[in-house]
Amino acid sequence: MSTTIYQEYPDADKGVLEIYKNIEGVQKKFFPQNIDELVSAVVNELSSDKFYDLDECQWNVEVESDDAVERVEYVIGKILHLVQQVDPPPRGKLLYCGTASPEIMVPIIIESKSSDDLKVWRKLSHIVRYVINSQDSRRYVQALTVCGTKARLWIYDRSGAFSSKPFDIDKDWLRFVEVILGYYMMTDSELGFDSTIYYDEQTRQRYVKLPVIN
């Protein structure tokens, strides 16, 4: 898989870059559109227990160190914990913050420094390559990088990668909640799996579904 990165370059792929000019375009195109009630419920819980400080515009995170990685991991863990308190709790996808695994649906790279440089992108590309090789029915992979307080949304296909412009997870905290819940609640198709390929548990064979033409 290529690790070519098309980031805010107007002469790359105009169709995809038109979507990636703003975060709203990415969420509208690739994210589930039926989770408003879930987002509202989680946001209300975050606000009621003052987990997010509206006056200081920052997350109230109790971690033993000031490490930015632990801070972001704690925030993501808190959001996903609150999701499970909803009745009935939704069955979500496995997000990634750690070592590579063939079950990972959405790779997430968290770095303490604020600049998301080429080293971070290469690290993400390496993990995405592992995911695509492990899940051969993936057409593309959704991913996220958080460097300091700056987050980017990514989508990788077998020709390269596209990234959104960064946004601040402290100042734009509602969007960060939407992004994490959006990744968590994505369908297989939204995650990039080819819906025409399915696995039969009994025969342990893969099959291709062809459309019926009358």
The count of structural domains within the chain is 1
Flag whether 200 is in a domain. Answer: yes
- Could you report the per-residue pLDDT of 133-187, keeping only the tens digit for each? 888 888 889 999 999 889 999 988 877 888 888 899 989 999 999 999 999 888 8
Distance in angstroms (rounded) separating the CA atoms of residues 138 and 145: 20
Burial of 131 (0-12, 13-18, 19+ CB in 10 A): buried
Flag whether 113 is in a domain. Answer: yes
Flag whether 126 is in a domain. Answer: yes
Q: How confident is the model at residue 4 (pLDDT cuts 50, 70, 90)?
A: very low
Q: Which helix (H) or strand (E) holds 154?
A: strand 150-157
Instruction: Give the SS3 label for residue 77.
Output: helix
Residues in the chain: 214
* Count of C-beta atoms within a 10 Å radius of residue 29: 13
Flag whether 102 is in a domain. Answer: yes
Domain, as residue range, for 51 = 5-208
Flag whether 213 is in a domain. Answer: no
- Could you report the per-residue pLDDT of 49-81, keeping only the tens digit for each? 778 877 777 788 766 556 778 888 888 888 888
The tokens for 18 are 């038109």
CATH number at residue 180: 3.90.1570
